Amino acid sequence: MNATELRAALSLAFIYVLRMLGLFMVMPVLAILAKEYPDYSVLMVGIAIGGYGLTQALLQIPMGMLSDKFGRKPVIVVGLLMFCLGSLIAGFADNMWMLVLGRILQGTGAIAGAIMALAADVSRENQRPKVMAIIGIAIGFSFYLALMIGPMISNVWGLSGIFFVTALLAFLCVFIVGFVVPSQQNSAPSGDTLPTWKDLGNLFGDKQIQKLNISVCLLHMMITLFFMQLPVMLQQMGLLIDSQWQLYLPVLLISILGLTILMGLNRKVSQKVLMLVSIFLLIIACAGLSWSSTLFSLAGFAVIFFTGFNYLEANLPAWVSSIAPAGKKGSAMGMYASFQFFGAFLGGMLAGFLNQYFSPSQVLMFAIAILFIWTGIIYNLKSVNKYRRYTLSGINHSADLDLLKQQLLAMPGVVDLALVTEEDSVYVKATAEFDLRQAQQLVLHTAPQL
């Protein structure tokens, strides 16, 4: 990568992490600290946790499309300012309704699509996967960071402190967008970065993608349900909120080891089997948590939960990306992200309702029932092959496009392709046998149409 691409990757990764911190940082503490509000109820806590996910789910796709019309940076800046406004409202909240409003406004900063599109615009085709990988690593890291620093910040400045810190960081990111992030140098082909309404309609009926979208929805429902139970259970066992990070740290580190073991089995065991194993780990964890009576056993089952969660969180988007037709990855991932955040909203609502009327053990039994239903949904999921994606630009406008398409489809390794004349590009989905140099020569020099 050159200096511009590295600067883009690091600065956009930092901005993307902020969005994830907004979702995750309050999760370990909100269920406990919200009791300070005069109109506190468990149901309102669930709405406050899930409200962020609702607006993220609704606006994820439209915001990405708007960035195509009005530019990447303006949309990102508007999203950051809305996130900042929501954080300030939540920080100054003196009742649950004001807190919910702040969380909903935080979620309107749905800038993921615009960030990914800008990352594509400021990077060369051969370096784009590296830029996306850096952003992807940062997203995964944000989850662990949030669980660590959320309780620490709340211990010093309370729940309001978390929101004020995120507001300050969001405002800082506005300047990073303006002065650090490179300006858009070209408009990269958008089929693999941004969604279109037409593609969304077609992909919605794809049974394989449907199952993976439902999977990520249920996964984030589970993590939200989990964090409505765990902090309260820890406090009941004598581990106060200011010390809970001391349990989260070893739990997360050990779960990373478990994740590494599962990832290592990828070559020997089918992805569907590992997915079922991960869901089974979630079932074991929920069952164990429902009767845990010591910190040690609770920590052990938390390790099992995070091992399964981390594997699914890391691999589900890769499966969606692999299944998506050529040139439709942006639409597939946009839909996936909407289901992901809707799951967080649904989890918050369900957790709030269930905790209002049922014991934590009964709520966990409900989670187990959902997990068994999830197992049935994906039981017939087909194995997912790993494909590479290429974007070939510079189509000869006088070329015989039908001939070009036939020649490319005849190449070894080509699984699927989409020729988009409006972008002067061909999107190719292929195996490792694919010869990129030969394909590019075909695109540039195919015989003209007679």
Neighbours of 217 (CB within 10 A): 23
Number of domains in the chain: 2
DSSP assignments along 107-145, one per residue:
HT---HHHHHHHHHHTS-TTTHHHHHHHHHHHHHHHHHH
Q: Which of 350, 378, 406 is the last residue of a domain?
A: 378
Full-model pTM? 0.87
Closest-CA residue to 183 (of 112, 117, 121, 109): 121
| Cα 123 from Cα 117, distance rounded (Å) | 10
Q: Are residues 425 and 276 in the same domain?
A: no
Q: Is residue 368 domain-shared with residue 428, that is, in the same domain?
A: no
Residues 125, 231, single domain; the answer is: yes
In a domain, 151, yes or no: yes
Query: Do 298 and 356 fall within a single domain?
Result: yes
Say if residue 416 is in the same domain as residue 356. no
Which residues form the domain of 41?
A: 3-378
Same domain membership, residue 165 and residue 90:
yes
Q: Please choose, from the candidates 276, 171, 278, 225, the residue with its C-alpha nearest in 3D space to the C-alpha of residue 50.
A: 225
Taking the C-alpha atoms of residue 17 and residue 142, their distance in angstroms, rounded to an integer, is 6
Considering the domain architecture, whether residues 295 and 425 belong to the same structural domain is answered as: no
Whether residues 246 and 298 share a domain: the answer is yes
Please check whether residues 110 and 231 belong to one and the same domain.
Answer: yes
Domain of residue 66, CATH code: 1.20.1250.20
Would residue 450 count as lying in a domain? no
Q: What are phi and psi of 240, to 5 degrees?
A: -70, 165
Identify whether 383 is part of a domain: no
Residues 317, 440, single domain; the answer is: no
> Are residues 21 and 140 located together in one domain of the fold?
yes
- Please check whether residue 279 is in contact with residue 371, taking contact to mean a CB–CB distance below 8 angstroms: yes
Residues 296 and 365 placed together within one structural domain of the fold:
yes
Nearest to 291 by CA among 365, 228, 373, 371: 365
pLDDT tens, N- to C-terminus, the chain (450 residues): 788 888 888 888 888 887 777 667 888 888 889 988 999 998 899 999 888 889 999 998 898 888 888 888 999 999 999 999 999 999 999 999 999 999 999 999 888 888 888 888 888 776 777 887 788 778 777 878 888 888 888 888 888 999 999 899 889 999 999 888 887 666 666 667 778 788 888 888 888 899 999 999 999 999 988 888 888 888 888 888 878 888 888 998 899 899 899 988 877 888 888 999 999 999 999 999 988 888 899 999 999 999 999 899 888 888 888 888 887 888 888 889 899 999 999 999 998 899 888 888 899 999 999 999 999 998 888 776 677 888 877 776 666 778 888 888 888 888 888 887 777 788 888 888 888 888 888 777 665 554
pLDDT given for residue 276 in this prediction: 93
How many degrees, rounded to 5, is the angle at CA 354 between CA 352 and CA 358? 130
| CATH code of the domain covering residue 404 | 3.30.70.100
Q: Which of 358, 378, 398 is the last residue of a domain?
A: 378
Tell me whether residue 368 is in a domain: yes
Q: Distance between CA 248 and CA 234 in Å, rounded?
A: 11
CA 70 – CA 77 distance, rounded (Å): 12
In this structure, the strands spanning 414-420 and 388-393 are unpaired
Q: What is the pLDDT of residue 211?
A: 92
Q: What was the pLDDT predicted at 184?
A: 65
Last residue of a domain, one of 356, 378, 400: 378
pLDDT of residue 59: 92
| C-alpha distances out from residue 389 to 8, 323, 328, Å | 22, 11, 11
